Amino acid sequence: MFRTLWQYRHFIISSIRGDLKGRFVRSRLGGLWFILHPLAQALIFSIVLSEVLKARLPDTDAPAAYPIYLLSGMAAWSLFSEILMRSMTVFIEQAPVMKKIAFPRLCLPIIVGGTALINHLLLLVALFVIFIFLGHIPGRALVLLPVGIVLIAAIGFGLGVILGVVNVFIRDVAQVMTIVLQLWYWLTPIVYPVNVLPEKYGFLIGLNPIAPLVALYQDALLFNRWPDPGSLIMPAMLGLASMAFAIVFFRRASPELIDVL
């Protein structure tokens, strides 16, 4: 399987290039949009929450700490949601090609994942520039960021492919997931710091595999502290398990996938 995928590496790479190109080409601000969106969102949240709700962040004296906190969490979340949502719909979008050309179908979610990762790296670079602009330079904990990227991508890819296969048979899945993701976003400490949460809801954070990864981003980019290794066990296990199950599930489903597309 991996050998055939390797043979198709050029197709995968040029598809990723095409995806990125398609996203930025022919809009006046081109590549700037992908940073303008999260910036605008961060600005809105900053205004609404830090001024109106007087949200305060503990453990930091960084200037503009709240926008940086927001942007870090949102970056982590956007990587997760983009891989998840696009893997979920990629089979339906690419149905004509899948039906009429014989090629390893696993290329498709890999292209989605690759595009999202490159996008994400560009976003991180842009965020860095903004952070420096805001007078904040992330510290040594930054070296752990790749761990967060890998785990988020693994969970997003695994869940995305599993749900993507199910979505081919039951199209409501993608619709339901947009709502689930909204809820999930608000159940993850991205917009608010974890300490504002009432004690009795603490268990929700404990169950949320994305929460420790978002925290890792915030730690790495803002607080400059090392994450609790124990908190990463659950996301790592989930990432591994979902990836493995996704590949098996996809291979079993593959023949019938084409039949109902």
Partner 1 sequence: MTVLSVSNLSKCYASYASNLERFAGWFGAPVKPTEEFWPVKDVSFSLSAGEALGLIGQNGAGKSTLLKLITGTVRPTGGTAHASGRISAILELGLGFNPEFTGRQNAFHAGGLMGLSQARLSELMPYIEDFAEIGEFFDQPLRTYSSGMQARLAFALATAERPEVLIVDEVLSVGDSYFQHKSFDRIRSFKADGTSIILVTHSMGDVRSLCDRVILLDKGHVLKDGPPDEVVDYYNALIATKENDKLTVEQRREKDQWLYSRSGTKAVAVESVALTDSDSGAQIKTAVSGQSVTVRTRIVAKEDIPELVIGFMLRDRAGHTVWGTNTWHTGQVLSNITAGDKVECRLRLACALGQGSYGLSVALHTGDVHIDNNYDWIENIEVFDVINSDRPVFVGTSRLEHAFEIIR
Scanning 43-51, 82-90, 126-134, 253-261 for contacts with partner 1 by CB under 8 A, the matching segment is 253-261
Per 3-state DSSP, what percentage of the chain is helix, strand, and coil (rounded to 5)? 80, 0, 20
Q: How far is the CB of 134 from partner 1 (least distance, A)?
A: 35
Map the footprint of partner 1 across residues 22-61, applying CB under 8 A. 22, 25
Whose Cβ is closer to partner 1: residue 22's or residue 63's? 22
Q: How far is the CB of 119 from partner 1 (least distance, A)?
A: 16
Scanning 46-54, 98-106, 128-136, 210-218 for contacts with partner 1 by CB under 8 A, the matching segment is 98-106
**What ranges in 25-64 are assigned the alpha helix state H?**
33-45
Q: How far is the CB of 153 from partner 1 (least distance, A)?
A: 23
Q: x/- binding map, residues 100-119, to partner 1, per CB under 8 A? A: xxxx----------------
Q: Exposed/middle/buried for 234, CB within 10 Å: 0-12, 13-18, 19+? A: middle
Map the footprint of partner 1 across residues 140-179, applying CB under 8 A. 166, 169-170
Q: x/- binding map, residues 175-194, to partner 1, per CB under 8 A? A: --------------------
135 near partner 1 (CB under 8 A)? no
Q: Give kind and range of the element (H or E) at residue 219.
A: none
Helices vs strands, H then E, count in the chain:
11, 0
Map the footprint of partner 1 across residues 211-250, applying CB under 8 A. 249
Q: Give kind and range of the element (H or E) at residue 230.
A: none
255 near partner 1 (CB under 8 A)? yes
96 near partner 1 (CB under 8 A)? yes
Distance CA 76, CA 83 (A): 11
Q: Give kind and range of the element (H or E) at residue 86.
A: helix 65-93
Distance CA 55, CA 65 (A): 11
Please state, in angstroms and as integers, the Cα–Cα distance from residue 79 to each residue in 3, 38, 82, 167, following that order.
27, 12, 5, 21
The answer for 256, left when phi > 0, alpha when psi is -120 to 50, beta otherwise, is alpha
Task: Note the residues at the interface with partner 1 (CB under 8 A).
Answer: 7-8, 10-11, 14-15, 18, 21-22, 25, 96-103, 166, 169-170, 249, 252-256, 258-259
